[in-house]
Amino acid sequence: MNRANVMKIMQYAILIMLFLSLAVLPSTAEITIKEKTLDKTANSITVVDEVGRTVTVDLPIQKIISTDYRQMEVLLALGARDMIVGVDNTFHKRMPYFGLKDVADVGIHSQEVNYEQVLALQPDLVIIPARQGATADEISEKLKGVPVLAMGLASRDHIIPETQIMGELLDKEDEASKLINWIKKYDSIVDERTQDLKPQDTPTFFYEYMSDLKKKWWAIVPNDPSAGRAAEGCGGRNIASDLNINETSTTKEVEAEWVLSKDPDYFFMDFMSTGVMSGPGRTED
C-alpha cells in the first residue's frame, strides 16, 4: 500500500472510540452471565455479581463508591449522581465533563483501593470491576461491614443484567428499564443492518489500543469485551483475528509493517483523553 493510500485511510478513518459501554452489539462468543437477583425484601437485596459472588446489600442505599471510571456512565444515566461519594483517580482525568470535581479519589485505576479513604466515606455500597488489583474477596475482607459488588457496568456482554440489578439496588427500576430499552433499540438496528452481510463484503480494520499514551502498534483483538467485538458486531473484520493470542488477551503488540501488509480499510484509534487529539470536545451537559 503506497503512502497516498495510507494517508487517505488515516485521514478518513481516525475516529474516537471512547466508552463503548452502551454499544451492546451481537456476538458469536459464548458468554457466561452470572449476574442475577436472588432475593429482595424491603430491607435488603441479595445478588450474584460478575465474578459469581453472592452478596447481600442493605437498603436503602444512599452513598456509593465506584472504583472504576467506566462504571460511572451507567450510574449517572440511572440518576445516581447525588449518591456517588468516591471514584477512582482516572475519572477526574478522563471524564471531567461529567462534573463531580469535588468527589473524592478512592483508588488507582485497575491497581488498588485506598481502604482508609473508603471507610472514612462510610459508603453503603462499593462497586469494583472484575479486576482491581486485589480480588473482590480480598477487597471485601479489608472493608468488613461494607458490601462490595464486582460489576464492570461497561462490558457489552454484561451491561444489561448489571444495569437491571443496579436499578433494583438504587430504587431506579424505571430508569434502568429505559436505559436497557435504549440499548436494545440500537442493538436491533445494528443487527438488522448487518445480518445479511457476507464476510467478503465487510471492510477490514485495525484497532489501535491506547493511542493517546504513545503505545503505538498495539492491536485490540476480538477477545476485547467492548471495542473489539463491538466493531466486528457492526459489520467489520478485525485484521488481528488471526494473531496467536490466549483466551484472556485483549491486546497484542504488532509491527507497523504487519499492519501495512494486511492493508486494512479502516484505522480506529482508541483515544482515552477528552478529545484533545481527535477534535470533539465535551461538556457536562
Q: What would the pLDDT profile of 239-269 be if each residue is shown by its tens digit?
A: 998 888 777 778 889 999 999 999 999 998 8
Judged against a pLDDT cut of 90, whether residue 43 lies above it is answered with yes
Q: CA 39 to CA 50: how far, in whole Å? A: 17
Domains and CATH numbers, the chain: 3-27+199-269 (3.40.50), 36-188 (3.40.50.1980)
Confidence grade of residue 29 (pLDDT, cut at 50, 70, 90): very low
Report, as an integer, the average pLDDT of 226-237. 81
**In this structure, which amino acid lies at residue 166?**
M
Q: pLDDT for 202-228, tens place per residue?
A: 999 999 887 666 667 889 888 776 677
Q: Which of 187, 185, 200 is nearest to 234 (CA)?
A: 187
Q: What is the pLDDT of residue 213?
A: 61
Contact assessment for residue 237 and residue 205, using Cβ atoms and an 8 Å cutoff:
yes
Q: What is the pLDDT of residue 211?
A: 66
Judged against a pLDDT cut of 50, whether residue 23 lies above it is answered with no
Judged against a pLDDT cut of 90, whether residue 138 lies above it is answered with yes
**At CB < 8 A and 24+ separation, what contacts does 164-169 make?**
164/37, 165/35, 165/36, 165/37, 165/47, 166/74, 166/75, 166/78, 166/80, 167/78, 168/37, 168/40, 168/45, 168/47, 169/45, 169/47, 169/57, 169/59, 169/61, 169/125
Q: CA 165 to CA 179: how far, in whole Å? A: 13
Q: What is the pLDDT of residue 226?
A: 67
Quick check: pTM over 0.85?
Answer: no
Q: CA 29 to CA 139: how far, in whole Å? A: 30
Confidence grade of residue 1 (pLDDT, cut at 50, 70, 90): very low
Chain mean pLDDT for the chain: 83
Report, as an integer, the average pLDDT of 152-178. 94
Q: Which of 47, 60, 35 is nearest to 172 (CA)?
A: 60
Q: What is the pLDDT of residue 214?
A: 64
